[in-house]
Amino acid sequence: MSNSHLFKNFQKSKIKRPRDEIEPEDIILDAIAQRKEVDLNLSSQKIEVHLTQKIFLTLGMIFLIGISFLFFKSFQFQIVQGKSFLDQSCKNKFLLQELKTQRGIIYDRNFQQLVFNSQSFDLICNFQDLPKDDFSKQRIIKNIAGILNEPSEELTLKIEENNKKGLREFSISKNLDINKVIILKIRIDELNGFSLKQSKKRDYTQSSLFSHLLGYLSKDTQEGKAGLEKYYNKILEEKPGLLQTERDAQGRIIAQEIIKPPESGRNLILYLDSALQQKITEVLSATLLEYGVKNAAAIALDPKTGGVLALVSLPSFDNNIFSKTLSEEEFRGILENPEISFYNRAISGNYLIGSTIKPLIATATLQEKIIEPDYKINCQGGILLKDGTFKKDWKVHGWTDMRKAIAESCDVYFYTIGGGYGQIKGLGIEKIKKNLELFNLGEKTGIDLPEEESGFLPDSQWKENKLKELWYPGDTYNVSIGQGYLKVTPIQLTVAIGAFANGGKLMRPQIAKAAVDEKNNLIQEFQSETLKENFILPENLQVVREGMRQAVTSAQGTAYSLNFLPVSSAAKTGTAQTSREGFYHNWITVFAPYENPQIVLTIVIENVPTETGITN
């Protein structure tokens, strides 16, 4: 058959059939194929049968595979991953949000508010509103990280961890500083998944005045990290509620339900007298400035209840700085600033206490019946030991009984009753330690503040085990006047002297008086706790009280300057040597009024370049 004949057939077909039914190219190819079959002597019938079987077989295999695949995926989705998809669906449908109220307020004894809850801004992440593609999501997270000045990896991890907890809305950064708030407000529309939310922050009035007492909160967790904020965190902290929001498939809110109501934190009322705290701080600060020294501490207690009326530690710090994010450089600058200290010397400072230990040594002597209080010892300015060591007194006191020894702080007298001299055997270190332990020295007082230290009482066994040295008589003489290896905190000494003020009771110091709700209904009262009583004979206590009173009333008394105050008092001063040559820790402990004491006050000033009792 010629090509012209094929073309004519093509023309006829083109006229008879619509274009959308058979294309010309198909007809040409079909005609050529038939021509080749004739030329090659092939049976079209045989080829047609073979291709039909193959096609059906192939289609059958595809059908079976498809059915099997659909059955497998249906099983996987409904049985294996059904719960996971259901959970995910519920998460997308229900949104849980925290409902916050406020942390408890702290008041002094006169209901002066010491802490306020004020407004601040938090950066919030809503996980559902973040871009779904990783590239866009990471771009936004990097922008946020740049504004917050923190690594994007840490921010990503924080988002993922909160998402795993089931909360779709959570805080990324709290108490933002004003500069970051301004930047975020300008750019927040382009930062999908993030928003600014007003929240509360902790503000401390006269912050440096109460900082060691009140402490501060963690910026991120809002938990107490120091001071009363830490000790009473469970009472002060709010208990957030939960709001459940139901959304439809388009994200529209269908319903909202409070499934857990929020509870405000309880308020604290303290024994603290803010006016007294301020006065002590002002006088102490002026004294430090006058003598060119920086470190001091003061404690004032009510001897009848153990209530803390004032607690001062200098230098102090501004506890408001923890309400904002600090850079590493800023924080390092704070730590290196000598005018700032987070160390609470009043409860954590382990000191040599010098002659303020003498009322306790005198009490031990009377309890152990070493000598009678009227027995007189002749002080000629020192004693000469068998090994040739001369233990010097600060002056010649002459014939001295116990009351005079306390009033004038006669070292020779206390060397003799403590370590023994001449015909007087003395207490010895074991009896000294036993009697000091009666006043709870060497252990924590239990004040309601964290980070209290326990001080230290040495003995011969400790020295042999620790220093591999024998205990010498000179060691006992040193302890007898508050020197040597002895360590005592200001709060410990204040509690001990309180026993002479209140008639022989050792009270646990207490800062918080009660916890109340928002309407000032009493929730919990912190009762005074007597640690010990009747552990010292009343007549022995009275001897020591009279000696401390003479320290104020006698012209030779070491606290004679207090005699000109309008209130009667009893006191004991002390000057403790330090490791720095020519520098001393100056002490005074006093209770007043003498007839019916309402206050016990102890002050220590560190590293004073003179032996003069500047604490007076």
String of DSSP letters for 298-343: EEEE-TTT-BEEEEEEES---GGGGGS---HHHHHHHHH-TT----
Name the least confident of 63-72, 132-141, 398-407, 431-440: 63-72
Q: Which are the contacts of 78, defined by CB distance < 8 A and separation ≥ 6?
A: none
- Cα-Cα-Cα-Cα torsion 476, 479, 480, 483, nearest 10 degrees, comes to 130
Determine the length of the chain. Answer: 616
What mean pLDDT comes out for the span 466-490?
97
Per-residue confidence at 74, pLDDT binned at 50, 70, 90? low
Closest CA to 512 of 504, 522, 501, 498: 522
Classified as helix, coil or strand, 584 is strand
The C-alpha angle with vertex 254 and arms to 251 and 257, in degrees rounded to 5, equals 115
Amino acid identity of residue 574, one-letter, is G
Distance in angstroms (rounded) separating the CA atoms of residues 265 and 259: 19
What mean pLDDT comes out for the span 384-412?
95
Name the least confident of 4-8, 175-179, 221-225: 4-8
**7, pLDDT greater than 80:** no
Q: Are 417 and 480 in contact (CB under 8 A)?
A: yes
Name the least confident of 171-185, 209-223, 227-241, 549-563: 171-185
Per-residue confidence at 411, pLDDT binned at 50, 70, 90? very high
Q: Are 310 and 273 in contact (CB under 8 A)?
A: yes
Per-residue confidence at 260, pLDDT binned at 50, 70, 90? confident
Query: Sign (positive/negative) of CA torsion 10, 16, 19, 23?
Result: negative
**43, pLDDT greater than 60:** no
Amino acid identity of residue 284, one-letter, is L
* Residue-by-residue DSSP string for 453-481: ---B---HHHHHHHHS-PPPHHHHHHHHT
Per-residue confidence at 247, pLDDT binned at 50, 70, 90? confident
Structure token digits, residue 484: 């040597």
Longest dimension (CA), the chain: 156
Query: Sign (positive/negative) of CA torsion 121, 127, 133, 138?
Result: positive
Domain boundaries, the chain: 117-204, 282-608
Burial class (CB in 10 A: 0-12, 13-18, 19+), 154: exposed
Structure token digits, residue 235: 């009472």
Distance in angstroms (rounded) separating the CA atoms of residues 13 and 36: 20
What mean pLDDT comes out for the span 237-253?
81
Distance in angstroms (rounded) separating the CA atoms of residues 298 and 282: 12
* H or E element at residue 4: helix 3-16
- Per-residue pLDDT tens digits for 54-64: 665 666 676 66
* Averaged pLDDT of the chain: 86
What does the pLDDT read at residue 73? 56
What does the pLDDT read at residue 56? 57
Strand bridging mode 241-247 / 505-507: unpaired
Distance in angstroms (rounded) separating the CA atoms of residues 111 and 125: 39
What does the pLDDT read at residue 574? 96
**31, pLDDT greater than 60:** no
**285, pLDDT greater than 50:** yes
DSSP tag of 533: E
Name the least confident of 81-90, 170-179, 429-438: 81-90
Closest CA to 308 of 348, 344, 277, 267: 277
What does the pLDDT read at residue 52? 56
What mean pLDDT comes out for the span 99-108?
90
Classified as helix, coil or strand, 385 is coil
Per-residue confidence at 221, pLDDT binned at 50, 70, 90? confident
Structure token digits, residue 196: 């600014």
- pLDDT above 70 covers a percentage of the chain that reads 84
Q: Are 351 and 576 in contact (CB under 8 A)?
A: yes
DSSP tag of 165: T
Structure token digits, residue 495: 């509690």
Distance in angstroms (rounded) separating the CA atoms of residues 574 and 558: 9
Phi-psi region of 227 (alpha: psi -120 to 50; beta: other; left: phi over 0): left
- Per-residue pLDDT tens digits for 581-605: 889 999 999 999 999 999 999 999 9
- Per-residue pLDDT tens digits for 125-183: 988 889 988 898 899 999 999 998 889 898 999 888 888 887 778 888 877 888 889 99
DSSP tag of 105: P
What does the pLDDT read at residue 37? 45
What mean pLDDT comes out for the span 26-34?
46
- Neighbouring-strand partners of residue 570: 591
What does the pLDDT read at residue 479? 98
What does the pLDDT read at residue 17? 43
Q: What's the distance, CA 453 to chain centroid?
A: 16
Per-residue confidence at 252, pLDDT binned at 50, 70, 90? confident
Distance in angstroms (rounded) separating the CA atoms of residues 331 and 342: 12
Q: Other CB atoms closer than 10 Å to residue 550's CB: what's the count? A: 22
Distance in angstroms (rounded) separating the CA atoms of residues 202 and 365: 52
User: pTM to 2 decimals?
Assistant: 0.77
Per-residue confidence at 70, pLDDT binned at 50, 70, 90? low
Classified as helix, coil or strand, 153 is helix
What does the pLDDT read at residue 6? 40
Distance in angstroms (rounded) separating the CA atoms of residues 450 and 165: 31
Per-residue confidence at 42, pLDDT binned at 50, 70, 90? very low
Name the least confident of 89-98, 254-263, 341-350, 402-411: 89-98
The domain over range 282-608 is classified in CATH as 3.40.710.10:
yes
Distance in angstroms (rounded) separating the CA atoms of residues 375 and 373: 6
Please give the CATH topology (third level) of the domain spanning 117-204. Answer: Penicillin-binding protein 2a (Domain 2) (3.90.1310)
Per-residue confidence at 246, pLDDT binned at 50, 70, 90? confident
